[in-house]
A = this chain, B = another copy of it.
């Protein structure tokens, strides 16, 4: 029994940066997750669902957004038996938990361990328009394989997955880079200062937006951005900035040419050469499997924000244009990213365990499909059996039971039945295709009225009086033919039986 404290009325709001998802939104996401899991499974990946809550120490601190409280995670301290307990947090991705799971269960798991996972993750970020603090990811990772074949497989599978969910070839591009190449470039520049290295990486990440000239300015003294604000530069000399620019502009027509350019950009740096070598292996494997540069390319401008990557990094972007909030066209952008993180399991075990994987931003991918009109957005509600006589509820319940048994969504109106108009308004709001009416007169005659609400709406919009008469949207049928006649009506509107 609740205590009767009479507190002030609570606000009916989600916390800032959170939202609710209704009806078709939920179902489309479930369907997309099912499709993605199908591809991952066919590639041999096994399902894993780890807990949403982890200890802060197990998650580690790898988010780029370090200025936020708790470095970007939602965290709290357990009430311990004596004094204070562990700090717990909501997972911010599915990769850090995988490292913990593998370290914990490694004796019971196969090696290599291919696993997929899907579910919400939480980021304690500053909320903004279209930027939510809970969103879905759908990941696949291979733990325990150092082979570049594992990275190539992840890229190929990502291409297959995007096509499976409805992004046609030509509308996406998977860009592959290697952190080692980046590190080689930084090494060949003689940049020892950690802060300056980080500033250079952030600048590289802006290449897509500001282009070669912009990056040149940002690596040097700085530049005026589009809004007129002056952005401070990293402060490198022209000569120092040169390897970065050579690196960024090394993408060429063929993978071979790109690799040659990269080899030049890293100079003789051992780590850089190793990175170029790895990219070469990935490119060769993908080419042999028929994944050409129309799907997967080597692109030096890919950085990826997370701190745990050690080798190849990938990013999938959708290349078609959409219109933004202000009506301006822009490229849709990134929907998935990942890479190799050879040191994440080592944090726990002390032993190096190579690992690589990909994370798909499911909500962004759904938005993309919606923007392209590839998801049917009109949801159809259930058949509504109206209540003409509230003492005959059992009769109406029998009708919906019959309809459901035939795989037809159906419900009895459960509001106050007094006002019949309200019942039809309700059916309209539910986007019901069909309403059933059985008053005392119909009952006596053994018939029901079946109202085609979709046709009714169409006729109301466009029909002439003649058409109204020719195509009545309401028909009488014997009670025994209820299911068959409703099925016909639904079929005519392309609404198939429920799964």
Interface residues in chain A, defined as those with a beta carbon under 8 Å from any beta carbon in chain B: 1-3, 7, 9-15, 18-27, 29-30, 34, 37-38, 41-44, 46-55, 57-58, 60-62, 69, 74-76, 78-79, 86, 88, 90, 100-101, 103-105, 110-112, 114, 120, 122, 133-134, 142, 144-145, 147, 149-150, 152-153, 156, 194, 197-198, 201, 284-285, 288-289, 307-308, 347-350, 381-382, 384, 393-394, 397-398, 400-401, 404, 407-412, 414-415, 426, 429-430, 498-499
Q: Are B44 and A382 in contact (CB under 8 A)?
A: yes
Q: Which of B52, B103, B110, B414 contacts A120 (CB 8 A)?
A: B52
Complex CA gap A375/B26 in Å reads 27
- CB-CB under 8 A for A394 and B289, given A15-B86, A498-B42: yes
Complex CA gap A52/B52 in Å reads 10
Q: Which of B15, B22, B42, B52 contacts A51 (CB 8 A)?
A: B15
- CB-CB under 8 A for A397 and B289, given A1-B197, A348-B9: yes
Complex CA gap A414/B145 in Å reads 6
Q: Are A289 and B21 in contact (CB under 8 A)?
A: no
- CB-CB under 8 A for A47 and B22, given A11-B55, A41-B498: yes
Q: Are A426 and B110 in contact (CB under 8 A)?
A: yes
Q: Are A414 and B41 in contact (CB under 8 A)?
A: no
Chain B neighbourhood of A103, CB < 8 A: 12
Question: Residue on B with the closest CB to A379?
Answer: B46
Complex CA gap A44/B408 in Å reads 9
Q: Are A409 and B41 in contact (CB under 8 A)?
A: yes
Complex CA gap A55/B7 in Å reads 15
CB distance from A446 to the nearest CB of B (A): 19
Chain B neighbourhood of A19, CB < 8 A: 51
Q: Which of B20, B101, B110 contacts A105 (CB 8 A)?
A: B20
Chain B neighbourhood of A194, CB < 8 A: 1
Chain B neighbourhood of A50, CB < 8 A: 14, 20-21
Q: Are A26 and B49 in contact (CB under 8 A)?
A: yes
CB distance from A128 to the nearest CB of B (A): 15
Q: Are A46 and B74 in contact (CB under 8 A)?
A: no
Q: Are B307 and A53 in contact (CB under 8 A)?
A: no
Chain B neighbourhood of A100, CB < 8 A: 10, 12-14
CB distance from A71 to the nearest CB of B (A): 11
Q: Are B20 and A58 in contact (CB under 8 A)?
A: no
- CB-CB under 8 A for A20 and B101, given A153-B397, A397-B289: yes
Q: Are A426 and B10 in contact (CB under 8 A)?
A: no
Chain B neighbourhood of A34, CB < 8 A: 30
- CB-CB under 8 A for A53 and B41, given A1-B197, A110-B429, A198-B1: no
Complex CA gap A406/B38 in Å reads 13
Chain B neighbourhood of A75, CB < 8 A: 76
Q: Which of B1, B9, B285, B409 contacts A397 (CB 8 A)?
A: B285
Q: Are A13 and B104 in contact (CB under 8 A)?
A: yes
Complex CA gap A384/B44 in Å reads 9
- CB-CB under 8 A for A348 and B51, given A285-B393, A397-B289, A409-B44: no
CB distance from A296 to the nearest CB of B (A): 14
Q: Are B1 and A55 in contact (CB under 8 A)?
A: no
Chain B neighbourhood of A400, CB < 8 A: 43-44
Closest 3 CB pairs of A and B: A44-B411, A288-B394, A12-B103
Q: Are B397 and A288 in contact (CB under 8 A)?
A: yes
Complex CA gap A499/B348 in Å reads 37
CB distance from A452 to the nearest CB of B (A): 18
Complex CA gap A412/B50 in Å reads 26
Question: Residue on B with the closest CB to A42?
Answer: B404
Complex CA gap A10/B142 in Å reads 22
- CB-CB under 8 A for A12 and B42, given A50-B20, A110-B426, A144-B415: no
Chain B neighbourhood of A429, CB < 8 A: 110
Q: Are B142 and A414 in contact (CB under 8 A)?
A: yes
Q: Are A11 and B57 in contact (CB under 8 A)?
A: yes
- CB-CB under 8 A for A13 and B55, given A76-B74, A112-B414: yes
CB distance from A111 to the nearest CB of B (A): 6
Q: Are A54 and B15 in contact (CB under 8 A)?
A: yes
Q: Are B498 and A15 in contact (CB under 8 A)?
A: no
Complex CA gap A54/B411 in Å reads 31
